[in-house]
Chains A and B, each alone.
Chain A
């Protein structure tokens, strides 16, 4: 029998059951739960499988090895470390070494990269050609070769300690490193440190006040001189007032090597230089792209207002270019951090060399060690990109 078309359609029990099965929201939830459950089950299965197989092959497993005595020394360390320390401490030492290279490398590469990028776009023909040659050469040679070049070709030709190059202030350059006099501060040096921190705080506060005053009344404030006075002059006054509690320990040649002083090892210098110069070329191209992305009309308008080229670049072009520069810049910073793992090729004790190299070999627990190393690198990279994203949002231009 045909349905009577004049009667209104009513929702009865049978169609309701069908709609539950075909309801898009319910289906979405069900499939997502199934997928999440499947993923978790997969990860658990992999972990259980790994542990079972390691046990079956009589290979030690678990993370207890982190509390065992390491038994080996590390060439350079930012914190105190000896062969009596634990493997866990060795992990921290490697991590700090990696972070040291990463942070210094990022700063150095950014400075060189920005200067290079601007030079590449300079009106001066020689400057832009030189920058182009530098960028093209260093960008296209594999970074490992560059590191080996810096370490072997450059630093190996440095003289031995006995014939070290004497530099001013008691410094010495040899193939064992750059030795600088070490400053040993007396207990009163803390006051100078506090004065310096106070100076930073004062600069921030005064700067904000000066900016607000200029927005309100238009009066400029000599911020540069004030900053210098607060950051440098004030701490120096405090330093002299507390009796200049600073002694210098000069490096002395005794037997094989220098004793005392502060040694910057050739492995560290080679890694820092090599990585910075290499990453700087990529940053230079990113900066160039960013600057070219700013509409030429902006530059023309700025010139029409009478701004000189330097001021145009600094006040008009770069702030707008930063939108384009910062996201790829994050990638380059992450690349630099991860490329620092090439340190193992030139003997710098970074995380991979110390932990995924020496500790892995001494304990034989490859799975745990590699897993921990990957987690650490992931954490560093995520932290870097989180910070850069925050920075990007902070300097983002709010357009009308």
Chain B
């Protein structure tokens, strides 16, 4: 009896030890599962929400799909976990999700002390205020002594305290955990102003009963660079997410869209074969596109993917401009202008390193 117990105990200990030391990379895990587990917003129209049919749509959702396209060539190979502001980082830290695309602001404390890494900025945003038109307020500086609704556990809360402190204005804070509760309190009149990222304000305004009764005040009181987040310690996965974002930007810069990506690739392939044969051959597409679409070079192998990883992303999702327009830009209900998020060649600051 004693020896049997000892052997079982020893076997259990050995199993625990073995399980503890097994360390597969995130890409291996994702390939084994067959899908990317992505953390998104519980319901922010335009960025991450479910539509009437129950499908996930949004700017951040499309980023998750882009990563899945890069790995599997199929944008449907992704499962979504709706995360509130409070649980989003803990879910990523603990391994519950593989990546987080949940309009999260890139700050130093989040980048350094949480064991996480931000893989680029997919939306340059700032914090603003929304008030009812009937209040007759035209500037955030007139909000002294107002009640302001905010979501807890966000950079919004901190920026609000800083802004009102710097301008020596008093305010009454009304803080809730969930964005839906914040919106409900604002629309019921519990507070005079609602504050969150400007993109969120436009999104929320659409969901209110009379969108035209509300205005977004002109002041942008903070920098909110929003981007996807991954865990530290896995450089390959970090590179995959980061370069997916850069591929979307490089494609828009090169003029490659979802509609013409096949044609461009064929042209690049023609260029390669015909250029090798004929020294005076004039290429149809620039070498940037050839490198982007995997016709030239082996860049995919450097991040553990096939060489047509960017082609897959563009074929499934389109370029950055198309993703933007579809979800939050001119082709959507939010109608947010490109503004800062235009390409650097078009007056904005979205700039991606070259794929070469």
Contacts and interface: CB of A to CB of B under 8 A. Distances in A.
Interface of A: 54, 56-60, 71-75, 82-83, 152, 156, 160, 175-176, 254-257, 259, 266-267, 344-347, 349, 353, 357-358, 360-364, 366
B188 A156 contact: yes
A73 B177 contact: no
Contacts of B185: 347
Given A83-B165, A360-B153, A60 B189 contact: no
A265 to B, nearest CB: 9
A255 B154 CA distance: 28
Contact of B93 (A57, A82, A347, A363): A57
A364 B172 CA distance: 26
Given A256-B146, A347-B176, A353-B152, 15 more contacts: A58-B232, A71-B158, A72-B157, A72-B161, A73-B157, A75-B173, A83-B161, A256-B135, A256-B144, A347-B181, A357-B86, A361-B89, A362-B109, A363-B109, A363-B113
20 contacts: A57-B115, A59-B113, A72-B152, A72-B160, A74-B175, A175-B188, A255-B145, A256-B135, A256-B144, A256-B192, A257-B172, A266-B190, A357-B86, A358-B153, A360-B86, A361-B152, A361-B153, A361-B154, A363-B113, A364-B93
Interface string B167-178: 000011111110
A74 B89 contact: no
A74 B177 contact: no
Interface of B: 85-86, 89-90, 93, 109-110, 113-115, 135, 143-147, 152-154, 157-158, 160-162, 165, 171-177, 181, 184-185, 188-190, 192, 231-233
B145 A259 contact: yes
A357 B144 contact: no
A59 B233 CA distance: 11
B90 A160 contact: no
A60 B318 CA distance: 39
A175 B189 contact: yes
Could you tell me the dominant secondary structure of chain B's interface residues?
mixed
B297 to A, nearest CB: 33
Given A59-B115, A152-B184, A357 B152 contact: yes
B172 A176 contact: yes
A344 B85 CA distance: 14
Instruction: Output the residue of A152, A256, A259 with the most chain B CB within 10 A.
Output: A256
Contacts of B165: 82-83
Given A57-B233, A256-B145, A74 B173 contact: yes
A347 B175 contact: yes
A254 B177 CA distance: 29
Contacts of B144: 255-256
The 9 closest A-B CB pairs, nearest first, are A361-B153, A83-B161, A60-B113, A364-B114, A59-B115, A58-B115, A256-B146, A57-B115, A71-B158
Contacts of A256: 135, 143-147, 192
Contacts of A345: 177, 181
